[in-house]
Amino acid sequence: MIAGVLLGPSLLGWLAPSVQKWLFPPQAMTIFFAVSQVGLSIYMFLVGLEFRRDLFLGKARSAAAVSLAGMVTPFLLGGAIGYVLLGQAGMFGDKVTTVEAILYMGASMCITAFPMLARIIYERGLSGTALGTLALAAGAIDDAAAWCILAVVLASFGGSWNVAALAIGGGIGYGILVLTVGRVLLARLGRTAEERGSVNSAMLAFTLTLVMLGSWFTDAVGIYAVFGAFILGVAMPRGTFATAVQQQVEPLTVVLLLPLFFTYSGLNTRLDMVDTPYLWMVSLIVLAAACLGKAGACYGAARLNGEDHKTSMAVGTLMNARGLMELIILNIGLQKGVIKPTLFSIMVVMAIATTLMASPIFEWLYGREARKQGLVGDAPLEG
């Protein structure tokens, strides 16, 4: 992501705009986006494949509490900021109402960088652990709710209420169908893999086709592609099937396809638009509210539900990252005229700052000591 920022309009585009346009012409960015989305969908499927359903049942109460706190508190703070900024010139579109400004800023502040969260959990060897499962479950709930709120905002701003109903109903329906009927039907793949002791090319191709279809469906209804892939991964059989698919798909996805997703994120970032002391002051206020509302609330909820101090701090830190999910919401708001470029840039600063601080703060608070104590392992492709 940092490489994308450096190669994008924020630095290279400022120093050598012709070179930047030559390296990344608009037509290439379209292809770049498509490939990065394929890689992201496959990666989130793998994350779902590693998701421990048994651990989730034991952490369901904590996950629900962390998710609720991580949504409500930043939503209220974001709504308050939206209410104040609505009266400032150059922040919101001319036709935006008070309710729309509050809902949009609330949704923008309460979202979590679900793919980034999954990547940090993977890199830190937390896949399949209680902490990793808790953070992933809470992050998935947060983001799904934020997208539903966004659908309501867009519907009220000039779209159709059918858009909001489709996003909410379609997302819930997909999840229920895949995790119940789909899980039973997919169990046959697991039995076949156990009998053969492996996963052949036909089974792998069928699985990846399902991943693309699931991603397409959730994207089409307005929830975003990663949720379709993740839920499908959760529903997949474990054992020989899961191990074989992971061994065949993970190396190419993690080494080549996934980095394209984060690079694309950086290439679409415009830090040069925050160029006055006043805007930087507003940016700092937004950043402080985002961190206090998300990290602080998630920490408090985890502690109240029996998690220890270090685990609660780790959960709060991980949930605080916004990442590309935030950038997507901001770009949609900008394209639809809900927000103007100035507010867009301020929110981008918050998204990048919370994303960049998540991994090093987590490592400082939890990672090193947890590895020494054997509480977490190494990532599968490390060491």
Three-class DSSP labels, the chain: CHHHHHHCCCCHHHHCHHHHHHHCCHHHHHHHHHHHHHHHHHHHHHHHHHCCHHHHHHHHHHHHHHHHHHHHHHHHHHHHHHHHHCCCCCCECCCCCHHHHHHHHHHHHHCCCHHHHHHHHHHCCCCCCHHHHHHHHHHHHHHHHHHHHHHHHHHHHCCCHHHHHHHHHHHHHHHHHHHHHHHHHHHHHHHHHHHHCCCCHHHHHHHHHHHHHHHHHHHHHCCCHHHHHHHHHHHCCCCHHHHHHHHHHHHHHHHHHHHHHHHHHHHCCCHHHCCCHHHHHHHHHHHHHHHHHHHHHHHHHHHHCCCCHHHHHHHHHHHCCCHHHHHHHHHHHHHCCCECHHHHHHHHHHHHHHHHHHHHHHHHHHHHHHHHCCCCCCCCCCC
Among the residue ranges 61-75, 97-111, 252-266, 299-313, the one predicted with the least confidence is: 252-266
Which pLDDT belongs to residue 380? 46
The residue that leads in pLDDT, 332 or 280, is 280
* Average pLDDT score over residue span 357-382: 65
The residue that leads in pLDDT, 147 or 352, is 352
* Average pLDDT score over residue span 162-186: 87
What is the band of 78 on the pLDDT scale with cuts at 50, 70, 90?
very high
User: Among 1.10.3720.10, 1.20.1090.10, 3.20.20.140, 1.20.1530.20, what is the CATH number of 2-15+32-370?
Assistant: 1.20.1530.20
Which pLDDT belongs to residue 381? 40
Residue 160 above 70 pLDDT? no
Residue 74 above 70 pLDDT? yes
The residue that leads in pLDDT, 111 or 267, is 111
Which pLDDT belongs to residue 59? 66
What is the band of 185 on the pLDDT scale with cuts at 50, 70, 90?
very high
Which pLDDT belongs to residue 373? 56
Domain ranges of the chain: 2-15+32-370
- In terms of average pLDDT, the best of 85-99, 123-137, 147-161, 176-190 is 176-190
* Average pLDDT score over residue span 67-84: 92
Which pLDDT belongs to residue 383? 35
The residue that leads in pLDDT, 381 or 344, is 344
Which pLDDT belongs to residue 369? 62
Tell me the pLDDT of the chain averaged across its residues. 82
Q: Per the confidence metrics, is the pTM higher than 0.85?
A: no
The residue that leads in pLDDT, 352 or 160, is 352
Residue 378 above 60 pLDDT? no
Q: What pLDDT, in 10s, does the model give residues 320-359?
A: 888 767 877 887 788 778 888 888 888 888 988 888 888 8
Percent of the chain scored above 90 by pLDDT? 19
